[in-house]
Chain A
Amino acid sequence: MQRHLISAADLTRDDAVLILDTAEEMARVADRPIKKLPTLRGRTVVNLFFEDSTRTRISFEAAEKRLSADVINFTAKGSSVSKGESLKDTAQTLEAMGVDAVVIRHGASGAPYRLATSGWIDAHVINAGDGTHQHPTQALLDAFTMRRRLVGRDAGLGKDLDGRRVTLVGDILHSRVARSNVDLLHTLGAEVTLVAPPTLLPVGVETWPCDVSYDLDSTLTKSDAVMLLRVQRERMNAAFFPTEREYSRRYGLDGDRMAKMPDHAIVMHPGPMVRGMEITAEVADSDRCTAVEQVTNGVSIRMAVLYLLLGGNEPAVTHARTTEEK
């Protein structure tokens, strides 16, 4: 494993499978009466959130606490950042307090990369989402969810997603989730198709390792997983599409469309879901929708990433069990 996790593109197939396998081990901790491992005892992790994200921050915090790390939460609102302090100064201040790892969420693409490579700090850097660039732990938890559902919980160990067909629908242009997923799913052997109106696809998307389509219906029948991405209503005002209703008609997933999907196929959503526009309540609440499972899996994935970056080389839970038994 590398020192930092900045982009899903940085992960080799073996790295990614190791993280998914480790996450399976971590998931077992959640089944225990005491959901805690001593693995990161004495380590300090700061959650450096320059952008609002309750979901991701709590997920990381839960993962850190289950590994017994000391956790510092930092949000930009009401902090020295709102008084004009720079990312560099903020990070250096936190490191001066003895931080071992920084989990950073930032509105600017590339901010975690700068933090990891500029020499400002020595701590490990984990990207919790930067601008429209990357959100690698989201891609990992999505892949983990797919592997569990499509390959099998225990049968999936050591395996990738070779040959699975995944369709991502929605605002690809502004989505760090889409970029991360395309990179990671390609590494894991899946075939990815992006579906969106042309206005919500980036110039240059033809060079990405995936197919592109403007037509959702034609891709549904051959998808093992359909992942819906959030479409912000303000995009409509910026002329990315004419009306909410038109978007919903062409790219929303309702019961009729879901029925076209193969029986085993799943519906995914990184959340928060905008019901009625991109997904109907019928689909969101169906057994095939993994949105809630993805949240649960997010904690296991983040535990695995933190453990592998900060912990050791030995299998996480085996080591932890031994410690516990002592």
Chain B
Amino acid sequence: MSKTLIRGAKVLGGEPQDVLIDGGTVAEVGTGLSAEGAEVVEAGGKVLLPGLVDLHTHLREPGREDSETVLTGTRAAASGGYTNVFAMANTFPVADTAGVVEQVWRLGQESGYCDVQPIGAVTVGLEGSKLAELGAMHESAAGVTVFSDDGKCVHDAVIMRRALEYVKAFGGVVAQHAQEPRLTEGAQMNEGVVSAELGLGGWPAVAEESIIARDVLLAEHVGSRVHICHLSTAGSVEIVRWAKSRGIDVTAEVTPHHLLLTDELVRSYNPVYKVNPPLRTERDVLALREALADGTIDIVATDHAPHPHEDKDCEWAAAAMGMVGLETALSVVQETMVDTGLLDWAGVADRMSFKPAQIGQATGHGRPVSAGEPANLTLVDTAYRGQVDPAGFASRSRNTPYEGRELPGRVTHTWLRGKATLVDGKLT
């Protein structure tokens, strides 16, 4: 296989170094490296990170290929610097059997842009009443390690307890979408001053917090580990912080949009801001940033949720919830965490590659940038600033809240096991 020499890259934001890729592996890291016949990429001070890992992506295939396919979704992932994504189970049919998760996994293998690890549903049809065949999904070719009914909450305490207990047999983890269903009936946005004024049904913070509190206690009780999807409130942060201090095996994620946007934007009634959990207040945003910085929140996950134009070009109540995120995640994290001084690039690598790979057991991803490791890498032009133009997205959908917004940073190169999937910002 060919060789690539990345010259003058700030590995994890450190001093410029050269990185030699030979085949699918990092062969050498040092200064003044040379290699005959190697393709040379002049990094010129760009930041080199381990390939990003997204623990929470919606690829929509099978069933909603008009929104996204595994191929378009993995192309979007590569554009955003990702080399591994976990595909959520709320497809049609639901990924609740070995057959469906294997289908998604194989499509990922064939795409060649990014590894895809399917997430299996916790309950049959995401209906919350009967456990799906968790073991069969784990033993399938897809090797499922993460289980989630995301989009819906596993709200029955007994079912949640059983799932947490059951996955211990093979080291799995249950990723909970924390949303108490009765407290969020008819919910359209964050419950508070803005929802009261706009007359939109409120999604109260306590609906998230009460489930997280219950689930960390359940995890403690049965001695299992639980992962909390997309934390969105200051109260949720406090509960996770308390649980960790008590020694409970809990991990948590935050989305880029919950680090940047607030419910004030809903005043526009523009459904591009409609998302679940909803955009919260400035106080929540600041608490989430602090928690990501101090490690209370372990990782950034995109909750990339593609929808076709017509599902958003309508009145608020009729619009689908969700926003795309794979191609803008790193820019938003730079804006909210790096440029604010809350996190350095090593911290970004930790929250967007090392830790999500650990939680999801993504073999070969989230590894150090050092000799002998798989060459899953991402090169970022951190000095770049530009307006987001969704017309250039690789995703099949364009439902981004950042259209026209100036954001820093741009992924210029991505390598998946040594093979470039993105070169100078263009997919190969």
Residues of A within 8 A of B (CB): 86-88, 106-111, 113-115, 117-118, 130-134, 176, 179, 202-205, 207-208
Instruction: State whether B198 touches A109 (Cβ < 8 A).
Output: yes
B313 interfacial by beta-carbon distance below 8 Å:
yes
Q: When chains A and B are docked, how far (Å) is the Cα of A111 from the Cα of B199?
A: 11
B251-275 interface (Cβ within 8 A of A): 268-269
Instruction: State whether B196 touches A114 (Cβ < 8 A).
Output: no
B141 interfacial by beta-carbon distance below 8 Å:
no
CB distance from A186 to the nearest CB of B (A): 13
Instruction: State whether A87 touches B314 (Cβ < 8 A).
Output: yes
Binds A, one of B186-194, B224-232, B239-247, B394-402: B186-194
CB distance from B276 to the nearest CB of A (A): 17
Instruction: State whether A203 touches B191 (Cβ < 8 A).
Output: yes
Which A residues lie within 8 Å of B310 (CB)?
86
Q: When chains A and B are docked, how far (Å) is the Cα of A205 from the Cα of B192?
A: 9
B317 interfacial by beta-carbon distance below 8 Å:
yes
Which A residues lie within 8 Å of B197 (CB)?
179, 204, 208
Instruction: State whether A110 touches B193 (Cβ < 8 A).
Output: no
Which B residues lie within 8 Å of A107 (CB)?
317
Instruction: State whether B315 touches A114 (Cβ < 8 A).
Output: yes
Q: When chains A and B are docked, how far (Å) is the Cα of A107 from the Cα of B317?
A: 9
Which A residues lie within 8 Å of B199 (CB)?
109-110, 130-134, 176, 179
Binary contact readout B188-214 vs A (1 if CB under 8 angstroms, 0 otherwise): 100111111111101010000000000
Instruction: State whether B191 touches A106 (Cβ < 8 A).
Output: no
Instruction: State whether A110 touches B195 (Cβ < 8 A).
Output: no
Instruction: State whether A111 touches B193 (Cβ < 8 A).
Output: no
Contact flag A110-B196 (CB < 8 Å), given A86-B310, A203-B202, A203-B204: no
Q: When chains A and B are docked, how far (Å) is the Cα of A208 from the Cα of B314?
A: 29
Instruction: State whether B192 touches A204 (Cβ < 8 A).
Output: yes
CB distance from B404 to the nearest CB of A (A): 15
Instruction: State whether A110 touches B269 (Cβ < 8 A).
Output: yes
A87-B315, A114-B314, A133-B200 known; 18 new pairs, CB 8 Å cut-off, are A86-B310, A88-B314, A106-B315, A107-B317, A108-B318, A109-B316, A110-B269, A111-B317, A114-B316, A130-B199, A131-B200, A133-B198, A179-B199, A202-B202, A203-B195, A204-B193, A204-B197, A208-B196
CB distance from A138 to the nearest CB of B (A): 14
What are 20 A-B contacts defined by CB distance under 8 Å?
A87-B314, A109-B198, A109-B199, A110-B198, A110-B199, A110-B315, A110-B317, A113-B269, A114-B269, A114-B316, A117-B269, A130-B199, A134-B199, A179-B197, A203-B192, A203-B195, A203-B202, A204-B192, A204-B195, A205-B196
Which A residues lie within 8 Å of B204 (CB)?
203
Count of chain A to chain B residue pairs whose CB atoms are closer than 8 Å in the complex:
75
From A106, A113, A134, A202, B195 is in contact (CB under 8 Å) with A202
Which B residues lie within 8 Å of A133 (CB)?
198-200
Instruction: State whether B316 touches A88 (Cβ < 8 A).
Output: no
Which B residues lie within 8 Å of A115 (CB)?
315
Which B residues lie within 8 Å of A110 (CB)?
198-200, 269, 315-317
CB distance from A200 to the nearest CB of B (A): 12
Which B residues lie within 8 Å of A111 (CB)?
315-317
Instruction: State whether A109 touches B191 (Cβ < 8 A).
Output: no
Q: When chains A and B are docked, how far (Å) is the Cα of A34 from the Cα of B268?
A: 44
From A86, A88, A109, A203, B317 is in contact (CB under 8 Å) with A109
Which B residues lie within 8 Å of A114 (CB)?
269, 314-316
Instruction: State whether A86 touches B192 (Cβ < 8 A).
Output: no
Q: When chains A and B are docked, how far (Å) is the Cα of A111 from the Cα of B314?
A: 8
Which B residues lie within 8 Å of A113 (CB)?
269
From B188, B193, B268, A207 is in contact (CB under 8 Å) with B193
CB distance from B428 to the nearest CB of A (A): 37
- State the 6 A-B residue pairs at the shortest beta-carbon distance, nearest first: A133-B199, A108-B317, A110-B269, A204-B196, A202-B196, A132-B199
Q: When chains A and B are docked, how far (Å) is the Cα of A110 from the Cα of B202?
A: 14
Instruction: State whether B315 touches A108 (Cβ < 8 A).
Output: yes
Q: When chains A and B are docked, how far (Å) is the Cα of A87 from the Cα of B315?
A: 7
Which A residues lie within 8 Å of B314 (CB)?
86-88, 114
CB distance from A105 to the nearest CB of B (A): 13
Q: When chains A and B are docked, how far (Å) is the Cα of A295 from the Cα of B199?
A: 24
User: Which residue from chain B places its CB closest to the CB of A9 in the assembled complex?
Assistant: B197
Q: When chains A and B are docked, how far (Å) is the Cα of A207 from the Cα of B196?
A: 10
Q: When chains A and B are docked, how far (Å) is the Cα of A87 from the Cα of B196?
A: 24
CB distance from B299 to the nearest CB of A (A): 31
Which A residues lie within 8 Å of B191 (CB)?
203-204
Q: When chains A and B are docked, how far (Å) is the Cα of A108 from the Cα of B317?
A: 6
Which A residues lie within 8 Å of B317 (CB)?
107-111, 131
User: Which residue from chain B places its CB closest to the CB of A106 in the assembled complex?
Assistant: B315
Q: When chains A and B are docked, how far (Å) is the Cα of A115 from the Cα of B195?
A: 20
Which B residues lie within 8 Å of A205 (CB)?
196
Q: When chains A and B are docked, how far (Å) is the Cα of A201 from the Cα of B310?
A: 34
Q: When chains A and B are docked, how far (Å) is the Cα of A53 from the Cα of B195?
A: 24
Q: When chains A and B are docked, how far (Å) is the Cα of A117 from the Cα of B315?
A: 11
CB distance from A301 to the nearest CB of B (A): 21
Q: When chains A and B are docked, how far (Å) is the Cα of A70 from the Cα of B191?
A: 42
User: Which residue from chain A places its CB closest to the CB of B311 in the assembled complex?
Assistant: A86
Instruction: State whether B315 touches A203 (Cβ < 8 A).
Output: no
Instruction: State whether B313 touches A88 (Cβ < 8 A).
Output: yes
Q: When chains A and B are docked, how far (Å) is the Cα of A59 from the Cα of B296?
A: 58
